[in-house]
């Protein structure tokens, strides 16, 4: 069943697909995957090639555009676009604290979630592609984790792709999660240092907030326990083009005077809980480190363990001296499952996933070395979320892959400069640039 409707300049159609939970057991349990088809109004009746968009994450549904905003307008000049809510996200069969208990206990929930990585997403795409294109190949555009999925696609079903476009999402083919975060913390420190250079007044503001949190128990209106580590994790904002400015505006409204002395303002708390809560995307926390699992080594809370190698991120030590407080970035930690009410019921499930040692490989280096699909990738210089050195090593390992290395954008370049970024990637893939 499909439903079509209009927005300015576009026709949208809701599409729903039934896919196996485990593609190795095609006759077994099924789940639903949702996608939104988008076509320009003046091309609605035309036979157009398809472009499927794979959102970053993991754990986020595809962007909800209005009309032809961001990169979508450029794509609609020549494609019919499919915005995929990857399994477990958006309007697809949900996986969260409300639904996962239907699976059983934590062990059953963890087993279920092993089917929510890039390999399963690619196999979903293949079933969907045959239905919507009649078997014709399509172009894939992968942002961030969507780029990881695209490299997996090139590994497992390259014959399905007419072109592959990647933005900020070239993964290491063999790095363990420890390697990923060992490379990440120095990048994060550079982003924080750059933020303080732009807004030096934020050094004292951040230290004051951290000191308050070390000496007071703060529970946000939604029940989130705001610890100093949680506050530091707001550094995830620094990976986006406007993130430093948004963080600055947040910090400047932190305190208000009260009869009992300065307190964190309601406005600050309201914004912070929206930034920190995983209620809308719990899969991000649950399988984030699992996207790096490919061997018999457990991920074992890699970001938390590796952080101990970088003592400059210890808030108490920073406040004991005159060092600036360092924010952290895109990482998941055990304490999040204590602080966030949307994650607390899933703590044991997360522990089981972190201990898992049977992750299958996500990439095929031999097949990538023999690649024949036109591939273009935007690599954002000093990307806070995806290590540039890892990305360029992978770029050299994929035959024919062309890179555009730029410091004009941060990790969200396809949003911030969407038409230009997509135009450049298409030109590279077509040997027009």
Q: What is the pLDDT of residues 287-340, one digit of tens each?
A: 999 999 998 899 999 999 999 999 999 999 999 999 999 999 889 999 999 999
- The reply to whether 368 and 350 lie within a common domain is no
- The reply to whether 67 and 11 lie within a common domain is yes
- The reply to whether 181 and 166 lie within a common domain is no
Domain final residue pick, 313, 339, 355: 355
pLDDT tens per residue, range 17-31 = 999 999 999 999 999
pLDDT tens per residue, range 377-414 = 999 999 999 999 999 999 999 999 999 999 999 999 99
Residue 6: exposure state from Cβ atoms within 10 A (0-12, 13-18, ≥19): exposed
Domain final residue pick, 334, 355, 376: 355
- The reply to whether 236 and 337 lie within a common domain is yes
Domain final residue pick, 337, 355, 373: 355
Share of the chain above pLDDT 70, in %: 100
- The reply to whether 136 and 240 lie within a common domain is no
**HEC string for the chain:** CCEEEEECCEEEEEEEEEEECCCCCCCCCEEEEEEEEEEEHHHCCCCCCEEEEECCCCCCCCCCCCCCCCCHHHHCCCCEEEEEECCCCCCCCCCCCCCHHHHCCHHHHHHHHCCCCHHHHHHHHHHHHHHHHCCCCEEEEEECHHHHHHHHHHHHCHHHEEEEEEECCCCCCCCCHHHHHHHHHHHHHHHHHHHHHHCCHHHHHHHHHHHHHHHCCCECCCCCECCHHHHHHHHHHHHCCCHHHHHHHHHCCCEECCCCCCEECHHHHHHHHHHHCCCCCHHHHHHCHHHHCCCCCCCCCHHHHHHCCCHHHCHHHHHHCCCCCCCCCCCCCCCHHHHCCCCHHHHHHHHHHHHCCCCCCCCCHHHHHCCCCCEEEEEECCCCCCCHHHHHHHHHHCCCCEEEEECCCCCCHHHHCHHHHHHHHHHHHCCCC
- The reply to whether 139 and 27 lie within a common domain is yes
Which of the residues 115, 155, 411, 412 is marked catalytic?
411
Average pLDDT over residues 259-268: 96
More confident residue, 62 or 2: 62
- The reply to whether 388 and 423 lie within a common domain is yes
How confident is the model at residue 433, as a pLDDT?
84
Query: What span, in angstroms and rounded, lies between the C-alpha atoms of 365 and 113?
Result: 25
Average pLDDT over residues 210-235: 98
Q: What is the CATH number of the domain that holds 38?
A: 3.40.50.1820
pLDDT tens per residue, range 164-201 = 999 999 999 999 999 999 999 999 999 999 999 999 99
Range of the domain at 415: 3-174+363-429
How confident is the model at residue 418, as a pLDDT?
78
How confident is the model at residue 296, as a pLDDT?
87
How confident is the model at residue 160, as a pLDDT?
98
Among this protein's residues, is 244 annotated catalytic?
no
- The reply to whether 404 and 336 lie within a common domain is no
Among this protein's residues, is 295 annotated catalytic?
no
Domains held by the chain: number: 2
- The reply to whether 141 and 75 lie within a common domain is yes
Among this protein's residues, is 212 annotated catalytic?
no
Which of the residues 144, 233, 277, 331 is marked catalytic?
144
- The reply to whether 7 and 156 lie within a common domain is yes
- The reply to whether 338 and 375 lie within a common domain is no
- Is the pLDDT assigned to residue 1 strictly greater than 60? no
Which of the residues 3, 47, 358, 431 is marked catalytic?
358
How confident is the model at residue 202, as a pLDDT?
98
pLDDT tens per residue, range 118-160 = 999 999 999 999 999 999 999 999 999 999 999 999 999 999 9
- The reply to whether 103 and 215 lie within a common domain is no
């Amino acid at each position: 069943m499909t439903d079509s409707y209009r927005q300015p300049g576009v026709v949208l159609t809701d599409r729903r697909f039934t896919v196996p939970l485990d593609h190795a057991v095609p006759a077994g349990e099924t789940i639903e995957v949702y996608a939104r088809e988008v076509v320009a109004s003046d091309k609605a009746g035309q036979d157009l090639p398809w472009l499927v968009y794979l959102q970053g994450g993991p754990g986020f549904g595809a962007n909800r555009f209005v009309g032809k905003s961001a990169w979508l307008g450029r794509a609609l000049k020549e494609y019919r676009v499919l915005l995929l809510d990857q399994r477990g996200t958006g309007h697809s069969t949900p996986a969260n604290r409300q639904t996962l208990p239907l699976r059983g206990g934590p062990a059953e929930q963890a087993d279920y979630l092993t089917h929510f990585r890039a390999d399963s997403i690619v196999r979903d795409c293949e079933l969907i592609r045959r239905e919507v294109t009649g078997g014709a190949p399509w172009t894939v555009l992968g942002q961030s984790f969507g780029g990881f999925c695209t490299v997996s696609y090139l590994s497992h079903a390259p014959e399905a792709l007419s072109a592959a476009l990647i933005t900020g999402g070239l993964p290491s083919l063999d790095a363990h999660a420890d390697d990923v975060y060992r490379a990440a913390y120095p990048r994060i420190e550079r982003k924080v240092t750059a933020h303080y250079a732009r807004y030096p007044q934020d050094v004292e503001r951040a230290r004051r907030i951290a000191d308050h949190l070390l000496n007071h128990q703060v529970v946000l209106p939604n029940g989130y326990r705001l610890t100093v580590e949680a506050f530091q994790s707001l550094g995830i904002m620094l990976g986006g083009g406007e993130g430093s400015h948004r963080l600055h505006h947040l910090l400047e409204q932190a305190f208000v005077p009260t009869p009992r002395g300065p307190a964190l303002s309601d406005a600050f708390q309201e914004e912070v809980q929206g930034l920190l809560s995983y209620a809308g995307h719990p899969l991000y926390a649950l399988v984030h480190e699992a996207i790096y699992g490919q061997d018999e080594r457990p991920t074992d809370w890699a970001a938390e363990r590796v952080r101990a190698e970088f003592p400059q991120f210890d808030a108490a030590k920073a406040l004991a001296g005159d060092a600036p407080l360092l924010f952290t970035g895109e990482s998941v930690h055990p304490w999040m499952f204590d602080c966030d009410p949307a994650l607390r019921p899933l703590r044991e499930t997360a522990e089981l996933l972190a201990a898992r040692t049977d992750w299958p490989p996500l990439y095929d280096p031999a097949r990538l070395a023999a690649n024949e699909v036109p591939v273009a990738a935007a690599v954002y210089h000093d990307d806070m979320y995806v290590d540039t050195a890892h990305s360029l090593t992978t770029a050299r390992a994929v035959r024919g892959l062309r890179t555009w290395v730029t410091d004009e954008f941060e990790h969200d370049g396809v949003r911030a400069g969407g038409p230009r970024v997509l135009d450049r990637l298409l030109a590279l893939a077509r040997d027009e640039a």
